[in-house]
Amino acid sequence: MKVIAIIPAGGKGIRSGFSTPKQYLKHNNKEIITYCLETFQKNRLIDEIIISAEPDYFNLLIRLVKKSKLKKVKTIVEGGSTRQQSVYNALLSLDAKNNDLIVVHDAARPLLPQNTLSNAIALAKKKGNAVVCIKAKDTLIKGNDIIFEYLNRDEIYYVQTPQIFKYEVLLKAFQKAEQENFIGTDESSLVKKIDEEIYISEGSVFNFKITTKEDLELFKKILKRNSSLKI
């Protein structure tokens, strides 16, 4: 069984107000996507890495891979107009067996802890899949300008990545979504549509997605104050 990581990196970040796609912004002379890729390069359970990106960034990615000695990066494929299409393109490019595990992770989540990644892979090997989530801690409400109702947070989770599925299952889910013109919020939403039981793996508050300028500042502060953070 191989464990193959797919890193979709085709987002433009326009809605977030960045002039450059957020995954290519630099901190300490290193692009955010490099922090992400290094996590997977260092993890002993990961066999291969596939990046899905816009062709305009292929040369940059090739340079980053060489500079950071990311030897597990096997292919860079062209992304699609949506994140879903980008992951699907990467899936179609793979030479994988049905039971190989596919680990999909956002390029803009650069602080994924190693133990979070390893624990999710271990769960997926045992159960067949794993989706990294963190349990809701705050009071949750439903409303629109005013509060309609309070939600029971005991069964509420915030979904993160990585999301891990067997190649056969994930491909089937994407094919069905393609046939039905269904756009999901993430890989798990596609897999759920083919009636698969999905297992939750514990996430981390460090594993947030850089979406806004405030997220970027938080990322910088965490690195500054936690130089020993194991990522």
CATH (domain of 181): 3.90.550.10
Is 11 domain-assigned? yes
Instruction: Locate 114 and state its tokens.
Output: 């190693």
**pLDDT computed for residue 20 by the predictor:** 85
3-state secondary structure of 135: strand
CA 225/CA 227 separation, integer angstroms: 6
CA 95/CA 70 separation, integer angstroms: 20
* CA dihedral sign, ordered 59, 11, 111, 94: negative
Is 149 domain-assigned? yes
| Tally of domains in the chain | 1
Q: How long a stretch of residues is the chain?
A: 231
* 14: Cα within 13 Å, side-chain hemisphere: 2
**pLDDT computed for residue 19 by the predictor:** 76
- Report the percentage of the chain scoring pLDDT > 70: 95
**pLDDT computed for residue 33 by the predictor:** 98
Is 60 domain-assigned? yes
**pLDDT computed for residue 10 by the predictor:** 82
Is 230 domain-assigned? no
Q: How many CB atoms lie within 10 A of CB 87?
A: 26
Domain membership of residue 205 as a residue range? 3-225
Is 231 domain-assigned? no
- Name the region of 181 (left: φ>0; alpha: ψ -120 to 50; beta: rest): left
**pLDDT computed for residue 14 by the predictor:** 54
Q: Which portions of the chain are predicted below pLDDT 70?
A: 11-17, 227-231
Residue 194 burial (CB < 10 Å; 0-12/13-18/19+)? middle
**pLDDT computed for residue 228 by the predictor:** 54
What angle is formed at CA 57 by the lines to CA 173 and CA 46, rounded to 5 degrees? 50
**pLDDT computed for residue 227 by the predictor:** 60
**pLDDT computed for residue 222 by the predictor:** 94
CA 212/CA 72 separation, integer angstroms: 30
Biggest alpha carbon distance in the chain?
53
Exposure pattern of 210-225 as b/e (b: 16+ CB <10 Å)?
bbeeeebeebeebbee
Is 53 domain-assigned? yes
Q: How many CB atoms lie within 10 A of CB 170?
A: 27
**pLDDT computed for residue 209 by the predictor:** 96
